[in-house]
Amino acid sequence: MSKDTLTITDNRTGKTYEVDIANGTIKAMDLRKIKVSEEDFGLMTYDPAFQNTASTSSKITFIDGDKGILEYRGYPIEQVAEKASFLEVVWLLQNGELPNAKQLEGFRNQVTMHTMVHENMREFIDGFRYDAHPMGILLSTVGALSTFYPEAKNVGDATNRRIQMTRLVAKIPTLAAYAYRHRRGLPIVYPDNDLSYAGNFLNMMFKMTEPKYRPNPAVEKALDVLFTLHADHEQNCSTSTMRVVGSSKADPYSALAAAAAALYGPLHGGANEEVIYMLRKIGSKERIPDFIKSVKAGEGKLMGFGHRVYKNYDPRAKVIKRLADEVFDAIGKNPLIDIAIELEKIALEDEYFVKRKLYPNVDFYSGLIYEAMGIPLDMMTVLFAIGRTPGWLAQWEELLNDPEQKIARPRQVYLGPSRREFVSIDKR
Ligand code: SDX
């Protein structure tokens, strides 16, 4: 009768060991009993970039990379994107169930009542250069928020945690819009409590001298869906960062600033901005073959393609591609879409990309919609951060409530010089 165990023979000693298999994994700590002598530390796993290491168990988001499946608390992303509002998704991620009408109304009111930030934040933002990248402003200001809510350090108190989580979901769009207005030399726009979450963000971004900002319904809806599509994605680079910083019991504002910093990288959340630069550089369909050739020659990456987990089409990219058609119908087409569609077609037929299972990811089409909405390139990763904030927070709280977790502190394989005596400067 088969057993859920792994039998390991250490050929250095001839000894055999049996380790349990659970959820498709073995515990790395079980390898420590494999030694060549009593004083031996025991075996570790070596896994740069954690390509084959589960750092946690989680009940929040499920991804099947081979099948291109993404589910939030068991609900398929395609259904959630079509049928739920972003704030419904925030509640789902953080509470495990979809809210009923009363819960959603109460949560919406709570978020609405927390959208303003301390006036000192305006002076803080005014201290940035006129051309400061909005992501640099966002990760700085969200970290600075920790100084306004010192009680947030009390991460062991569930009620306190939820207040801070609601504040962050509510205030991130405000900080993001302030960063944009600073960049454009425009006066900041205060939140409008009459508007939806996405509508209010558009208001704080684009309101000029009109008495009341009225968001374009198609744009407001598309933005709400885009926030949902970015809301969580299990243990990606920025979420893992949120968890590592959270594991030291840092407050959620500081942990989220670190997560935003990780997202800023061009290989992660910065890719949506890079895709637009890439499409602009290609410039026309006729120049796609030469560009593809340069990528295959190792001269650069096809930004918006490839994924550590998805070895199939990113399901979010499919939804975004459909959303693009709706937005372009409403507010005009982004001419770069034709190059993007042709580029995708050629790449998906090219052996180089097929062999490496490189498909469009969430960033390939999202920037095209943002640009059509009037969102400048350097704000695109900021919008990714707004969407991902509830996921970062849900994963952070799950970490704090997980009895298996403790401060994250990986090991290393040391390959440096062995012990040697110090050499005085006159002898070097
Ligand atoms: C996000 O983890 C998440 O869930 C992230 C995310 C989320 O929601 O949080 O989904 C959001 O970050 C999406 C990814 C956005 N980044 C990009 O679009 C940047 C371009 N993509 C690549 O840099 C890359 O695909 C990564 C970083 C996304 C994944 O890299 P991996 O898993 O480390 O894969 P790899 O770099 O080892 O690539 C394997 C092979 C290599 O070729 P060989 O050395 O084997 O010959 O595929 C090649 C790579 O050179 N490759 C690409 C490529 N991506 C991988 N070649 C050309 N263009 C690309 N985009």
Question: CA-CA distance, 300 to 306, in Å (whole number)?
Answer: 13
Report DSSP letters for 368-397, one per residue.
Answer: HHHHHTT--GGGHHHHHHHHHHHHHHHHHH
Cα four-point dihedral sign 176, 180, 183, 186: negative
Q: Is residue 393 part of a domain?
A: yes
Q: Is residue 396 part of a domain?
A: yes
Whether the CB of 362 sits within 6 Å of ligand 1: yes
389 C-alpha to center of ligand 1: Å?
Answer: 22
Which two tokens mark 362? 């969430």
Whether the CB of 233 sits within 6 Å of ligand 1: yes
Question: CA-CA distance, 337 to 365, in Å (whole number)?
Answer: 8
Asked whether 308 and 362 are in contact (CB, 8 A), the reply is no
Nearest to 95 by CA among 56, 70, 60, 63: 60
Q: Is residue 198 part of a domain?
A: yes
Residue among 275, 358, 368, 380 to mutate when testing ligand 1 (max atoms within 8 A of CB): 358
Whether the CB of 361 sits within 6 Å of ligand 1: yes
What range defines the domain where residue 230 resides?
58-410
Residue keyed to tokens 């109460």: 106
Q: Is residue 99 part of a domain?
A: yes
305 Cα nearest atom in ligand 1: 60
Q: For the chain, give the number of residues.
A: 428
Whether the CB of 232 sits within 6 Å of ligand 1: no
Q: What is the per-residue pLDDT across 375-415, written as a single tens digit (0 to 9) for each?
A: 999 999 999 999 999 999 999 999 999 999 999 999 999 99
- Please classify residue 169 by burial: count the beta carbons closer than 10 Å to its beta carbon, then call 0-12 exposed, 13-18 middle and 19+ buried: buried
Number of H helices, E strands in the chain: 17, 5
For 111, phi and psi rounded to 5 degrees? -60, -45
Residue among 309, 313, 316, 361 to mutate when testing ligand 1 (max atoms within 8 A of CB): 361
- Please classify residue 421 by burial: count the beta carbons closer than 10 Å to its beta carbon, then call 0-12 exposed, 13-18 middle and 19+ buried: exposed
Whether the CB of 271 sits within 6 Å of ligand 1: yes
Whether the CB of 363 sits within 6 Å of ligand 1: yes
Q: Is residue 427 part of a domain?
A: no
Which pTM was predicted?
Answer: 0.95
Whether the CB of 236 sits within 6 Å of ligand 1: yes
Whether the CB of 72 sits within 6 Å of ligand 1: no
pLDDT at 264: 96
- Minimum CA distance residue for ligand 1 atom 45: 356
Q: Is residue 266 part of a domain?
A: yes
Q: Is residue 359 part of a domain?
A: yes
86 C-alpha to center of ligand 1: Å?
Answer: 27
Per-10-residue mean pLDDT, the chain, length 428: 93 97 97 97 97 97 95 98 98 98 98 97 95 96 97 98 98 98 95 98 98 96 97 98 98 98 94 94 96 95 94 92 91 92 94 94 93 94 97 98 97 97 97
Question: CA-CA distance, 340 to 338, in Å (whole number)?
Answer: 5
Concerning whether 268 is annotated as a catalytic residue, the answer is: yes
Asked whether 10 and 17 are in contact (CB, 8 A), the reply is yes
Residue among 267, 295, 352, 363 to mutate when testing ligand 1 (max atoms within 8 A of CB): 267
Q: Name, in order, each residue with C-beta under 8 angstroms of 330's C-beta and a sequence gap of 6 or more.
A: 216, 218, 219
**Catalytic, out of 64, 268, 350, 402:** 268
pLDDT at 1: 73
Question: CA-CA distance, 331 to 335, in Å (whole number)?
Answer: 12
Distances (CA, A) of 117 to 73, 126, 192, 281, 347: 31, 14, 13, 39, 45
pLDDT at 278: 97
pLDDT at 56: 98
361 Cα nearest atom in ligand 1: 13
Q: What is the CATH number of the domain that holds 81?
A: 1.10.580.10
Number of domains in the chain: 1
Q: Is residue 316 part of a domain?
A: yes
Q: Name, in order, each residue with C-beta under 8 angstroms of 57's C-beta and a sequence gap of 6 or more.
A: 23, 402, 404
- Please classify residue 94 by burial: count the beta carbons closer than 10 Å to its beta carbon, then call 0-12 exposed, 13-18 middle and 19+ buried: buried
Concerning whether 126 is annotated as a catalytic residue, the answer is: no
Which two tokens mark 413? 């394989």
